[in-house]
């Protein structure tokens, strides 16, 4: 039996516009394509970094993050510091 232990386990990346911070946990992503099909100005897997936090207003970003079906995307408001997982 071959067991592969990824060094990518439990990665959590953060992207902040000073108001909201979007978090992304790649190991949870189901590649549903929902985020980048619905808010392409922010989520674009062809780019690096693939999240452009300046690509939309904070409220639009939050609403899109809430649509993530896997929980890979989350966010917190910078002034509160609380996690609001999608
Ligand atoms: S919506 Fe969530 S699960 Fe789908 S591609 Fe985006 S981050 Fe991954």
DSSP secondary structure letters along 68-82: -SSS-EEEEETTT--
Q: Is the pLDDT of residue 4 over 80?
A: no
Average pLDDT, the chain: 89
Tell me the three state secondary structure of residue 15. strand
Q: State the fold for domain 2-85.
A: Alpha-Beta Plaits (3.30.70)
Q: What pLDDT was estimated at residue 13?
A: 95
CB hemisphere CA count around 47 (13 angstroms): 12
Domains of the chain, by residue range, sit at: 2-85
pLDDT score of 6: 52
Q: Which of 14, 27, 32, 51 to mutate to test the pocket of ligand 1 (most atoms within 8 A of CB)?
A: 32
Instruction: Identify which of 15, 23, 35 to mutate to test ligand 1's pocket (most ligand atoms within 8 A of the CB).
Output: 35
Tens digit of pLDDT for each residue in 24-65? 999 999 999 999 999 999 999 999 999 999 999 999 999 999
Predicted confidence (pLDDT) at residue 1 exceeds the cutoff of 90: no
């Amino acid at each position: 039996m071959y067991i592969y232990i990824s060094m990518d386990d439990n990665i959590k990346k953060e992207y902040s516009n000073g108001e909201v911070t979007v978090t992304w946990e790649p190991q949870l992503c189901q590649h549903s394509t929902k985020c980048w099909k619905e808010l392409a100005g922010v989520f674009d897997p062809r780019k690096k970094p693939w999240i452009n936090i300046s690509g939309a207003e904070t409220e639009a970003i939050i609403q899109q993050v809430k649509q993530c079906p896997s929980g890979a995307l989350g966010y917190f408001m910078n002034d509160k510091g609380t996690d609001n997982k999608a």
